Amino acid sequence: MNWKKAIPLAVILLMLVISSCTLQRTQGHIDEPKNEEVKEESEMRLLIGETEVPVTWERNASVSALQAMCPITIQMSKYGGFEQVGPIGRSIVRNDEQTDTDYGDIVLYSGNQVVIFYGSNSWSYTRLGHVDLSQQELSALLGGGDVRITLE
């Protein structure tokens, strides 16, 4: 074979091999799952008093443990003018992290209390979900005094 023809052919083949490796890496990178916490609609329902409210629940062990306790009714107490808190009757698995909360957030506090915010706060909690209502709607349901919630 002629060297003048072999060298350009080798260069072209090398470029094809390199470009196909890069293409495979890029495609593999696109297909990799992300390690983000995924939120989803769950079968668990939340009633505040007699009103069912839409909730997007976290997908974590605490929500699973809470769901296993259903149906459960919790007497909530107004606290600090921005949250309702109530005991669930026992401790469940938790993964507390320092976090800022906002209206609608549902968290687990100390492993044995559910908190629903209609204002904001910053503390160490395990996130359970989020009530998908406006701040005005939540304040109307939670801000007037102690309430009863039911998880089913």
| pLDDT over threshold 50, residue 42 | no
Pick the residue with more confidence: 2 or 40?
2
CATH architecture of 39-151: Beta Barrel (2.40)
List CB contacts of 108: < 8 A, sequence separation 6 or more: 62, 66, 92, 94, 96, 114, 115, 125, 126, 127, 128
DSSP-derived letter for residue 92 is: -
Q: What is the mean pLDDT of residues 66-95?
A: 96
8 band by pLDDT with thresholds 50, 70 and 90:
low
| pLDDT over threshold 90, residue 126 | yes
56 band by pLDDT with thresholds 50, 70 and 90:
very high
Domain boundaries, the chain: 1-32, 39-151
Nearest alpha-carbon partner for 56 in 68, 45, 70: 45
Alpha carbon 46 to its chain centroid, in Å, reads 16
Backbone angles phi, psi at 88, to 5 degrees: -100, 0
Q: Tell me the sheet residues that pair with 51.
A: 48
pTM beyond 0.85, yes or no: no
